[in-house]
Amino acid sequence: MNSVRKGLRDGDLEKDTYDRVICASCEQTLKTRNDPEEVFSIRICPVCETEYKDLR
């Protein structure tokens, strides 16, 4: 599982005009899954279900 920052650098993720993170291949906005016991949240593409770590 890569981080959101690495996904943006590699071109797997993009930001739209409202600064939302979208999947470059599916062009869908990533959904967020939070675990209160973790330092990071998980960002998931709803179509291809690729997961990315996002530090809070």
Give tens-digit pLDDT for 9-56. 999 999 999 999 999 999 999 999 988 888 899 999 999 999 999 986
DSSP states of 1-56: -EEHHHHHHHTSEEE-TTS-EEETTT--BPEEE--TTSSEEEEE-TTT--EEEEE-
The pLDDT, as a whole number, for residue 37 is: 84
The pLDDT, as a whole number, for residue 56 is: 64
* Domain, as residue range, for 9: 2-55
Domains held by the chain: number: 1
